[in-house]
A and B are shown apart, each in its own frame.
Chain A
Amino acid sequence: MAVAFETELLERDERLRTARLSLPLRTDEDVVHLRKHVRERAVGISLSLVDQTKLVTAASELARNTIKYGGGGEVHLDALVDGFKKGVGLIFVDDGPGIPDLELALRDGYTTGGGLGLGLSGSKRLCDEFAIDTRPGEGTAVCIIKWKR
């Protein structure tokens, strides 16, 4: 079950992290399950309804990518505190084929899977922080953070 891809993104915000929940991403139901957890965390730090919706939507897009393109993997849901600022962080990790051309993959409308090509680019717009680590043949990790304003 554990994902073999080793990425420094996993410990990127270790200093700010107060809790971590790791969930598997294998099936459609796992995506729904994750959306519920993310919504709870977002409500927990009093994100506005619009920011809650943006975060949950971004999580849904990236979780689907992990399953569809990464062949499944896992997600780490982090509670973050930076001084007086609270945030929710998500790190999606898979040990799939990786993204050969990241610049192209981040472009609106580009897809290799017959989708709309909005997953990566759209999620980036919906969050405050976005980082990606991908290596061909090893895997992909995507990290997003939404801070409470």
Chain B
Amino acid sequence: MERIPILRMGDLLLVTIQVDMHDRLAMALQDDLTERIVSDGAKGVLIDISALDLVDSFIGRMISNTAAMARVLDAQTVVVGMQPAVAITLVELGLTLHGVKTALNVEKGMALLGKNLF
């Protein structure tokens, strides 16, 4: 089965979602990330969604859940690069990604994680 690659950089895990994910793929990413946080001892997770032109309730829930699981496992999550049209749609849909930290781009996301970690 196809998988979204997860890269490790020091204490951080980096994910760039570049495909239109079907539901099983989104769930697989959530599971993989949670396992990698533990096996790699990661302290931060950065998820880049700048290439996603859609975040529906399923993907939104996957992002929220991943952030919550990471928090329980002593890691912080930052979601970066959300497109404006996606943000507008997400809020109108009724999803606010409660409890998820966001940043405008990868650089700002890294800075946010770095500030909290080091």
Query: Measuring CB to CB, which residues of chain A are less than 8 angstroms from any residue of chain B?
Result: 28-29, 31-32, 35-36, 39, 49-50, 52-54, 56-57, 60-61, 64, 108, 115-116, 118-119, 121-123, 125-126
Interface residues of B in 42-56 (CB under 8 A from A): 53-56
The count of A-to-B residue pairs whose CB atoms sit within 8 angstroms is: 73
Q: Is B86 an interface residue (CB 8 A)?
A: yes
A54 to B54, CA, bound (A): 9
Residues of B within 8 A of A35 (CB): 20, 54
Chain A interface secondary structure, helix, strand, loop or mixed?
Answer: helix
Report the interface size for chain B: residues with CB under 8 A from the other chain. 24
Q: In the complex, which of the residues A50, A115, A123 contacts B61, with contact meaning CB atoms closer than 8 Å?
A: A115
Q: Is B115 an interface residue (CB 8 A)?
A: no
Residues of A within 8 A of B89 (CB): 50, 53-54, 57, 126
Central interface residue in B22, B56, B88, B92, by most chain A CB within 10 Å = B56
Residues of B within 8 A of A118 (CB): 57, 93-95
A126 to B89, CA, bound (A): 7
Q: Give A88 Cβ to nearest chain B Cβ, in Å.
A: 15
